[in-house]
Amino acid sequence: MNRFYQKAGVLAILLTLSTSVVVADLLEAGGSDPVSIVKHTAGNVLHKLDERRAEFEAQPELLREMVNSDLLPLIDIEYSARLILGKTSRGLSPQQLAAFSDAMRHVLVDRYADGLLEFRSNEQLEVMPMKGDNSEKLTRVRTRIKLQNGGYAPVDYAFHMTPSGWKAFDVTVEGISYVITFRNQIVPRVQADGIDKVTADIVAGNVPLNEQ
């Protein structure tokens, strides 16, 4: 298992709830800001995973279905896709960008679903105090995950405000941003082969996306 995505799987833990459940929890908690989203979903999702762990381990497709249906409403996949493509997104048609975004969605579903089963209780996650300049364009929520060896791995989530509310668009694990990681691997391929071929190759599983 890729170490980056084992740890990055906690993003799915934090956000894998249906939109209605998230809204209900946050209204009860009195906030819908990024920190509240993180704090008030982590424990619930971990509890849900522990209850259905045997089922998910026996039928991984069920876990992917849950991630696909419950995670995506809280992630700005298209914005992430634009950031990954950088300047190479200029001139793309809406259809090309949508196809690339959908391909990346499948990558995230697979990677995060694989990482979910690594976590067993909310004691593994600690939300750190906010610091730095935060705004609607970029607010970072810092957390750390307790590892089996007793150490901690820092995991930061980048949120921005959209017409639909706060959405996450990047996760940084031990200083490694998934947006930058994917950009470094995908952009050279797009420059060489074009977006359509790269998108098709990602869908076919022919583009190995690694942590470095």
Per-residue pLDDT tens digits for 151-164: 888 888 899 999 98
Question: Which domains are assigned to the chain?
Answer: 3-204 (3.10.450.710)
DSSP string for residues in 169-209: EEEEETTEEHHHHHHHHHHHHHHHH-HHHHHHHHHHT-S--
- Angle, CA of 78, 95 and 168, to the nearest 5°: 5
Model confidence pLDDT, tens digit, residues 65-107: 877 766 666 789 999 999 999 999 999 999 999 999 999 988 8
Do residues 11 and 171 touch, judged by C-beta distance below 8 A? yes
| Token digits of residue 63 | 């876990």
